[in-house]
Amino acid sequence: MSGVLLWVVGPKGNAASLFNLEPRTSKKQRRPRSYPRARVVSVVSAISSSVVSPSRSSVDRVYEVVLKQAALVREQRREKALDVKKPEEAEGSTGGDLLNEAYERCGEVCAEYAKTFYLGTLLMTPERRRAVWAIYVWCRRTDELVDGPNAAHITPKALDRWEKRLNDLFEGRPYDMFDAALADAVSKYPVDIQPFKDMIEGMRLDLRKSRYMNFDELYLYCYYVAGTVGLMSVPVMGIAPESKASTESVYNAALALGVANQLTNILRDVGEDARRGRIYLPQDELARAGLSDADILRGKVTDKWRGFMKEQIKRARKFFDEAEKGVVELDAASRWPVMA
């Protein structure tokens, strides 16, 4: 039975049983003159210049989404449509107790699976916090499709069904209470569906690809599975009303935070991933360093390996530096949670 069906089970039970998780062992479009594409290319190129810059194609694809997100926020600001309801108001209009319970359950899942993120969310305003919890849960469930105990049963078709379900919840037709929390959150904040779809695309990549030829390919993967989280989060975090930064630059910083996290994640999990048949490290960079897949599987820490890893860490740090510049542009109430 497809693993996807597991997530349509009843709303009761603890987070672990609902998710059926075991404890973890471990384009192109016209661009507005105000924000020339060259700037994005230069940001990403500068970040990655220490090794290999992502080709224009990956940068273009990701930049298109950044522009879309930024345009959506500008539109909402112009129309003064960003009328974020307080939780009490939300209760009255959307069936109160059940919705509150749904959000609480999202918080429990976040607390259980991501202690550091959870602590960060505790520093947020209550309404933002619960929206981030709902986003967290959707991301975690999406990742569990390809990494969880039922991963062996997950096919591209199952991911297509998960995407159909995503479309439904964005149109106000949630399948379960976690979806209901997210449906409510995306109705209150100007969150676009594209980054969610792109995350599913990243999971499709994980099903069919286990090697990355160069950093361009890896960058696109990192965008799909983690940069997208930054783009989902900014509309909830909010940009400071006094900020003089362009909306696009804030989205770029958020994207960088996701990419930085994912690169770090990849460096941390090299051994575990390799044992599962996945090597995310760029093959051309490994070869230039005189390293092979066999060296990774052997797990021996050599000077060659140390030298290689130092360069990888340097690149991840540059993405973190890029992200840090954007944090000060966020709404004051969201800066500490992100820094934390």
Q: Is 230 in the site for ligand LST6JFWI (CB under 6 A)?
A: yes
When asked if residue 329 is in the footprint of Mn ion (CB under 5 A), the reply is: no
326 binds, among ligand LST6JFWI, Mn ion, none (CB under 5 to 8 A by kind): ligand LST6JFWI
* Residues between 279 and 338 that touch ligand LST6JFWI (CB under 6 A): 323, 326-327, 330, 337-338
What's the min distance (Å) between Cβ of 28 and Mn ion?
31
Query: What is the C-alpha to C-alpha distance for residues 142 and 159, in angstroms, rounded to an integer?
Result: 9
The interface partner of residue 54, options being ligand LST6JFWI, Mn ion, none and the CB cut-off 5 to 8 Å by kind, is none
DSSP label of 11:
S
- Span near Mn ion by CB under 5 A; candidates 146-154, 188-196, 240-248, 270-278: 146-154
∠ CA 17-20-24, rounded to 5°: 105
Whole-number minimum distance, CB 83 to ligand LST6JFWI, in Å? 22
Q: Least distance to ligand LST6JFWI from the beta carbon of 290, Å?
A: 26
327 binds, among Mn ion, ligand LST6JFWI, none (CB under 5 to 8 A by kind): ligand LST6JFWI
158 scored as a contact of ligand LST6JFWI (CB under 6 A): no
Q: Are the C-beta atoms of 150 and 159 separated by less than 8 Å?
A: no
Nearest approach, Cβ of 271 to ligand LST6JFWI (angstroms)? 12
Choose the stretch contacting ligand LST6JFWI; rule: CB under 6 A; options: 39-47, 130-138, 153-161, 211-219.
130-138
Instruction: Find out whether 258 and 226 touch, Cβ atoms under 8 Å.
Output: yes
CA 48 – CA 213 distance, rounded (Å) = 15
Least gap, CB of 92 to ligand LST6JFWI (angstroms): 27
**Quick one: which of 178, 151, 143, 148 has its CA closest to 265?**
143
- DSSP state string for 90-118: HHHHHTHHHHHHHHHHHHHHHHHH-HHHH
Partner that binds at residue 265, options ligand LST6JFWI, Mn ion, none, CB closer than 5 to 8 Å by kind: ligand LST6JFWI
CA atoms within 13 A on the CB side of 185: 32
3-state class of 95 per DSSP? Answer: coil
Residue from 287, 235, 203, 233 nearest 82 by CA: 235
Measure the CA–CA gap between 329 and 253, rounded to whole angstroms.
Answer: 10
What letters, b where the CB count within 10 A reaches 16 and e where it falls short, cover 307-329? ebeeebeebbebbbebbeebbeb
Identify residues 26-85 at the interface with ligand LST6JFWI (CB under 6 A): none
In contact, 305 and 286? CB cutoff 8 Å: no
Binding flag, residue 249, ligand LST6JFWI (CB under 6 A):
no
Paired with 279 in beta bridges are 211
Q: How many CB atoms lie within 10 A of CB 61?
A: 17
Name residue 92's amino acid.
Answer: G
Indicate the residue among 70 and 259 with the shorter CB distance to Mn ion. Answer: 259
Is 147 near Mn ion (CB under 5 A)?
yes
Residues forming the site for Mn ion (CB under 5 A):
143, 147
Residues forming the site for ligand LST6JFWI (CB under 6 A):
117, 120-121, 132, 135-136, 139-140, 143, 147, 225-226, 229-230, 233-234, 237, 250, 253-254, 257-258, 261-262, 265, 269, 323, 326-327, 330, 337-338
